[in-house]
Amino acid sequence: MVSTDRIESTLLEALEHASGNGCPPKLAEAMHYAVFPGGARVRPKLCLAVAMACAEDSPELVNAAAASIELLHCASLVHDDLPCFDDAEIRRGKPSVHRAFGEDLAVLTGDALIVQAFQVLGRAGRVAPRRLGELLCLIGDSVGGPTGIVAGQAWESEPKVTLVDYERSKTGSLFAAATAAGAIACGADPNAWGKVGDRIGEAYQVADDILDFAGDPEKIGKPVGQDAVHGRPSFAIEHGLKEAKRRLEHLVSSAIRAIPPCPGRAAMRQQVAMEARRFTPDEPLRAAEAAVA
């Protein structure tokens, strides 16, 4: 698939730059380990899909935006897996970075991937400076304070948090950035597209809550039941599986309806529906249906 090639080759190029001549070998290895092989690459695919739907005119900048967002996602996984958070043993079916390389290198790998996300933008932005400032603000805000994914993770250290604040920061913000960045990188309206990403992100989080609540750890490559263990807000825990399924369907169709007029609108609608099916956890939902039947 073309967009997969674009994503993987841009990520590989970014990693080659960041771990090139003079890099401490273990850091170089750990950075590569944290990014390859990837997960579903949902966020960068979404970014590229928006750009293609908008008849992109600056593919280098689009690739950089997509890679930047995926690097930030990978960095957040490395840090969230640390012993002071989830202490996850397994990620993407192999030992988490701190289990494979030690806690020190896991902290630095996350740091280096965050910085790399901005190095990638900077290199592409020198070629297409016009849209760089807006892209940098958007991606920075989706990760940092006050409501980016770092803030989302920090809500876990507060005594009280609402489901909406938590999930919007922890997951929604980077999805909204993925679609809005695709739009900015080709001169389209980031606000309209940001809403699409926001809803897809919320759908993805509900799906993730369902998987954690009732999924099969073998199939998803990570342990389940973590939301309950860590006392994290979860739609599935709060409202039950049946309501979670209804919410998920509503969010996906609302995302599809929010797609603004653009040259590739029909294809984009199809792609969102297809990707949504991919991350919809069939098995626990079927179990839920059977339970309420």
Binding of a copy of itself at residue 225 (CB under 8 A)? no
The binding track of 121-150 with respect to a copy of itself, each residue x by CB under 8 A or -, is xxx-xxx-xx-xxxxxx--xx-xxxxxx-x
- Contact status, residue 7 vs residue 66, Cβ threshold 8 Å: yes
Tell me the sheet residues that pair with 90.
Answer: 95
Residue type, 53: A
Q: Which of 12, 13, 23, 99 binds a copy of itself (CB under 8 A)?
A: 23
Report 178-197 residues binding a copy of itself (CB under 8 A): none
| Of 55 and 137, CB closest to a copy of itself | 137
Q: How far is the CB of 137 from a copy of itself (least distance, A)?
A: 4
Binding of a copy of itself at residue 37 (CB under 8 A)? no
Dihedral over Cα of 112, 115, 116, 119: its sign: negative
Quick one: which of 39, 42, 49, 72 has its CA closest to 185?
49
Report 150-169 residues binding a copy of itself (CB under 8 A): 150-151, 153-158, 161, 165, 169
Q: How many C-beta atoms lie closer than 10 Å to residue 144's C-beta? A: 15
- Give Cβ neighbours of residue 93 (< 8 Å, ≥ 6 apart): 221
Dihedral over Cα of 56, 272, 225, 235: its sign: positive
The binding track of 193-222 with respect to a copy of itself, each residue x by CB under 8 A or -, is ------------------------------
The binding track of 96-125 with respect to a copy of itself, each residue x by CB under 8 A or -, is ------xxxx-xx-xxx-xxx-xx-xxx-x
Binding of a copy of itself at residue 10 (CB under 8 A)? no
- Contact status, residue 13 vs residue 146, Cβ threshold 8 Å: no
37 exposure class (CB count in 10 Å sphere: 0-12, 13-18, 19+): exposed
- Contact status, residue 186 vs residue 58, Cβ threshold 8 Å: yes
Q: How far is the CB of 235 from a copy of itself (least distance, A)?
A: 20
Size of the site for a copy of itself (CB under 8 A): 65
Binding of a copy of itself at residue 18 (CB under 8 A)? yes
DSSP state of 259: P
Q: How many C-beta atoms lie closer than 10 Å to residue 291's C-beta? A: 11
Binding of a copy of itself at residue 46 (CB under 8 A)? no
Contacting residues toward a copy of itself, per CB under 8 A: 17-28, 31, 75, 79, 82, 84-85, 102-105, 107-108, 110-112, 114-116, 118-119, 121-123, 125-127, 129-130, 132-137, 140-141, 143-148, 150-151, 153-158, 161, 165, 169
